[in-house]
Structure 1
């Protein structure tokens, strides 16, 4: 009787190990989820807001916008050369601005200093460890809203300002 219990226990262990190995190899064989690729960023002035659009190939990743005291390049920690007193940091993660072969896929601006009503500077500040980061610079505290648009995938940051389109009649 004791030998029979040992046989059943050994058989059960072998089946359990075989099942674990089979599921591990199945997981290894299935393709890994593709990383969202940040391919472009565009900026424009509208009558009552400046707009930043970040274009993504693949699924739009979670994106955060937060106020920061200064802008720094990810990885190096060097200060981003944009003048301003107020800054926003935009982070997309998980995302990359390069493909699996390491080739750059981002075609947008690296550092620009537009003279828009509110937005005074914009830069790609990082493509590091699955996080793509941008920075925006302002002379005065920005009031902003965000939204996600689909088909094609893009993240939108609208920064409010006074109406510049009103005619003075």
Structure 2
């Protein structure tokens, strides 16, 4: 029994020493990242919107696995990192936070092609802004004149996060 214990300790020590680089996350201090290797961080590449008969839809396109996403109401909008107020028209706002995620690649080049700050003229949705790409967190904001009633869900192949915002049904001639 003693020999098995000694052998297990020795094997564990060898694996720890030999496998240090293999077990550290890519990009960690002292861990080389091969050029051209894909990022493990989800990349937020676009945000788009559309109007439907009973709801407006905001779609956030993600390359890679969908990270955890939170959506919450906020009274004011500020750019992440700087704290500067976002000049997005509206009285009610939603923040959509994706983390861990980035809107830039490993070299720092932007991959996000959606709006940075845009007024939208839909029944419910009045504006969209990218308010943060800072320290592994991507934040987008949506503006409304009235308090939004919304639901969220994910779509796959490709990965998308969807926010549907209800509005009164309107007849169009």
Give the TM-score band, short-chain normalised: 0.7 to 0.9
- Structure 1: give runs of 5+ residues left out of the alignment: 1-8
Structure 1: 4+ residue segments shifted above 6 A = 9-13, 29-33
List per-residue Cα deviations over 1:81-105 (Å, max 9, x = no partner): 0122111100011110000000000
Superposed CA RMSD:
2.5
Q: Distance in 2 between matches of 1:113 and 1:90?
A: 17
Partner of 1:95: 101
Q: What is the TM-score when the length of structure 2 is the normalising length?
A: 0.83
Q: CA deviation at 1:115?
A: 1.2
Partner of 1:151: 157
Q: CA deviation at 1:15?
A: 5.2
Q: What is the TM-score when the length of structure 1 is the normalising length?
A: 0.85
Equivalent of 1:27, from 3, 6, 23?
Answer: 23
- 1:17 to 1:69, Cα distance in 2 relative to 1, 3 A: same
List per-residue Cα deviations over 1:54-102 (Å, max 9, x = no partner): 0011111111100011011001100000122111100011110000000
Aligned length: 161
Equivalent of 1:55, from 44, 55, 61?
Answer: 61
Q: CA deviation at 1:19?
A: 2.8
Partner of 2:139: 133
- Structure 2: give runs of 5+ residues left out of the alignment: 27-32
In our comparison, the structure showing a higher alpha carbon Rg is 1
Equivalent of 2:76, from 70, 77, 81?
Answer: 70
Partner of 1:18: 14
Q: Distance in 1 between matches of 2:155 and 2:8?
A: 52
Q: Distance in 1 between matches of 2:25 and 2:48?
A: 38
The structure with the largest helix share of the pair is 1
Q: Distance in 1 between matches of 2:140 and 2:50?
A: 16
